[in-house]
């Protein structure tokens, strides 16, 4: 008696953080009134540092002026979790889905996001696992390969996961990633022995892993969406 569930996937390429945030806000309100079905944004950001709800500035190790010199932006957000970095060659998924419709709580939702990243890593022979208690995100040994931070409003999710395909890891030297000191950050490129395909292929695989974890039967791909059409 399982009702088929469909997921709309928007492939957006590189999107700056504010535009992606505005888009998510609009989609959350549309999803809340059932104007749209579950939607998944697949994208990358230009270099951007973001902080979570708790505004843990102390984990940012450089000044805003120095950030500017690096060409990076800084954003305060309403998601859970600590400071993180987003940049080119890091795959981002922002699911706008109704947890109430699938009877999923925050904890199980975050676990499924973790499993999504574990699965994509395993496709490249990389054994990743969830962090120890208090260290969410996805790890290869004691090196972090993926981060999670989500917001849930009226049972609708926003923000999501970031998986390091091959970002410039030097950017992570300026923060205490996710507030955990003495841990390194890594990428799929660094951990795998297999040559990586084009990044859009990896994005697509990540989306498939997500769809499998959450039990979506039909995937509707949307390309070249003009995300600022409403502005």
Report if residue 106 touches other proteins, rule: CB under 8 A: yes
Segment contacting other proteins (CB under 8 A): 41-49, 87-95, 107-115, 121-129?
107-115
Shorter beta-carbon distance to other proteins: residue 118 or 148: 148
Q: Please select the residue that binds other proteins; options are 19, 25, 101, 199, rule is CB under 8 A.
A: 101
Select which of 12, 178, 202, 206 is catalytic: 178
Q: How far apart are CA 159 and CA 142, in angstroms?
A: 25
Number of alpha carbons in the 13 Å side-chain half-sphere of residue 105: 1
For other proteins, how many residues bind (rule: CB under 8 A)? Answer: 28
Q: Which is nearer to other proteins, 63 or 108 (CB)?
A: 108
Tell me if 13 is assigned to a ligand binding site: no
Counting contacts by CB under 8 A, is residue 19 touching other proteins?
no
Piece in contact with other proteins (CB under 8 A), picked from 15-23, 67-75, 86-94, 103-111 = 103-111
Q: Which two tokens stand for residue 76?
A: 């305060």
Q: Helix axis angle, 106-123 relative to 199-214, nearest 10°?
A: 140
Given 102, 123, 196, 227, the residue binding other proteins (CB under 8 A) = 102
Distance from C-alpha of 51 to C-alpha of 19, rounded to nearest angstrom:
17
Chain center to CA of 116 = 11
Q: Are strands 218-223 and 6-14 parallel, antiparallel or unpaired?
A: parallel
- 178 is known as an active-site residue: yes
Our CB check for other proteins shows the closer of 81 and 87 to be 81
63 to 82: interface string for other proteins, x by CB under 8 A: ---------------xxxx-
Instruction: Decide if residue 146 touches other proteins (CB under 8 A).
Output: no
Encoding tokens for residue 221?
């791909």
The tokens for 88 are 């080119």
CB 86 within 8 Å of CB 17: yes
Residues numbered 149 to 168 that lie near other proteins (CB under 8 A) are: 149-155
Closest alpha carbon to 181 in 58, 85, 73, 75: 58
Q: Is residue 159 left, alpha or beta, with left meaning phi > 0 and alpha meaning psi from -120 to 50? A: left
Phi, psi at residue 225, to the nearest 5°?
-75, 135
Of the ranges 30-38, 42-50, 102-110, 198-206, which one interacts with other proteins (CB under 8 A)?
Answer: 102-110
Binding site residues, other proteins, CB under 8 A: 52-54, 78-81, 100-110, 136-137, 148-155
């Amino acid at each position: 008696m399982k009702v088929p569930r469909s997921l709309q996937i928007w492939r957006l390429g590189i999107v700056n953080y504010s535009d992606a945030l505005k888009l998510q806000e609009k989609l959350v309100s549309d999803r809340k009134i059932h104007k749209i079905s579950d939607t998944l944004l697949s994208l990358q950001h230009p270099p951007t540092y973001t902080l979570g709800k708790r505004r843990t500035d102390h984990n940012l190790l450089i000044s805003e002026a120095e950030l500017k010199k690096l060409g990076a932006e800084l954003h305060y957000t309403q998601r859970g979790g600590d400071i993180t970095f987003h940049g080119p060659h890091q795959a981002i998924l922002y699911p706008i889905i109704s947890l109430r419709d699938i009877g999923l709580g925050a904890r199980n939702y975050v676990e499924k996001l973790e499993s999504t990243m574990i699965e994509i890593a395993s496709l490249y022979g990389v054994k990743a696992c969830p962090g120890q208690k208090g260290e969410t995100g996805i790890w290869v040994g004691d090196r972090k390969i993926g981060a999670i931070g989500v917001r849930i409003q009226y049972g609708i999710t926003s923000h999501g996961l970031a998986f390091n395909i091959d970002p410039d890891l030097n950017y992570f030297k300026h923060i205490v990633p996710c507030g955990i000191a003495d841990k390194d950050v890594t990428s799929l490129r660094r951990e795998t022995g297999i040559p990586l395909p084009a990044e859009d292929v990896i994005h697509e695989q990540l989306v498939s892993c997500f769809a499998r974890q959450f039990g979506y039967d039909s995937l509707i791909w949307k390309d070249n969406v003009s995300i600022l059409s409403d502005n």
